[in-house]
Amino acid sequence: MATLIGFPNPVNEKAARVVAGVVCAIAIAALASGAYWLAAVLAYGFIARVLTGPKLSPLGRIASSVIAPRLGPAKPVAGPPKRFAQSIGAVCTTGAAIATFAGENTVAIVLLSVIVAAAALESVFAYCIGCKLFALLMRAGLVPESVCVACSDLSLRGV
């Protein structure tokens, strides 16, 4: 079980961007078609990635072992901020799924729209909103430096 649970550190940014692109496409499809139940599928993927990285996420596995290697050399980035971002996605998509099954489609639409925006920024521009929030929480002292030493060293991030 110890080898199943856990998140990779570092993470291949190319794989993260591929995952974000597919998440964005699924969320757009859900919004365009009214198939808000797809939020449950997205929620499973986010929860699986938070708990196990790509191990139990079919999308994560394909992105990290099939697609990303074809995009050239890996671009390693710190894992903890990416896991935090996946956690935010898990909360939003789980909320959207619950709202859908409760008949609150407006709430589902808002939450899925947040996912589209965040996933599009990550996949197209490599701008991770969750990672930026993670950095702010570190600066505020709410996330200890020991969680991500590389995150607190600005020279490692090219800033």
* Phi-psi sector, 42: left (phi>0), alpha (psi -120 to 50), beta: alpha
Asked if 89 contacts 129 with a C-beta cutoff of 8 angstroms, the reply is: no
The structural domain count of the chain equals 1
Evaluate whether residue 6 is within a structural domain. Answer: no
Chain segment 51-81, per-residue pLDDT in tens: 999 999 999 999 999 999 999 999 999 999 9
In-domain check, residue 1: no
Look up the domain containing 102 and give its range: 11-157
- Per the domain annotation, does 103 fall within a domain? yes
- pLDDT tens digit sequence for 9-42: 899 999 999 999 999 999 999 999 999 999 999 9
Does residue 125 lie within any of the structural domains?
Answer: yes
pTM score: 0.90
